[in-house]
Amino acid sequence: MKKVIITLVMVFAFSFVNAQDTGQTAAGKWLIEANTNFGVAAGSNTGFSYSNTDGDSEYNIGAEVGYFVIDDLAIKGGLGYGGINTDLFDTNVVSYKIGLKYYILSMIPVQVDYSGGIIEDLDEDPSYFGVQAGYAIFLGSNVSVEPGIRYNISLNEDYSNKDTFQFNIGFVLHF
């Protein structure tokens, strides 16, 4: 147990020093992010996901890009494309997201955003207000892995009033 604690402290210290020295979150830098989404809000996905339950399947591919307007604060946008295939319908989904991502101490990402989707053949498309937080593990001067949690608050009464909680693992390129 002692070795595990020492190892975790060393990883945390390495990540903190590495994030501070390399300036991945400095003003004028860019990021490109791809997320795995577990427990995703249906119709509002700018990450990678696939699920199949009792023959009903949903899939999505997407990515997000951001620009650091000041140190540690990025304006982000994202796009995704996917499909929903069930016994009742088979449709395509185009998802979008716009928001702000702030790195506390240059290594704890906190994000707020508006996301939604355009689903063909529906009268109302889904939209969400999302908040998320995580921890950035910098693997060098250009790459970080960011596990985190996210909560999506539904902004639709007719489409879905179901809020969603999800776990993400983000893979981020900084340049």
pLDDT digits (tens, 9 = 90+) for 13-29: 555 444 444 589 999 99
Q: What percent of the chain has pLDDT over 70?
A: 82
Instruction: Using the CB atoms, write b or e for 129-165: b if 16+ within 10 Å.
Output: ebebebebbbeeeeebebebebebebeeeebbeeebe
Contact 67, 22 (CB under 8 A): no
What distance in Å separates the CA atoms of residue 89 and residue 112, rounded to the nearest whole number? Answer: 32
| Residue whose structure tokens are 């982000």 | 76
pLDDT digits (tens, 9 = 90+) for 78-89: 999 998 888 877
pTM of the model: 0.81
pLDDT digits (tens, 9 = 90+) for 153-170: 989 876 666 788 889 999
Q: Mind listing the domains of the chain with CATH numbers?
A: 2-174 (2.40.160.20)
What token pair was written down for 122?
């529906």
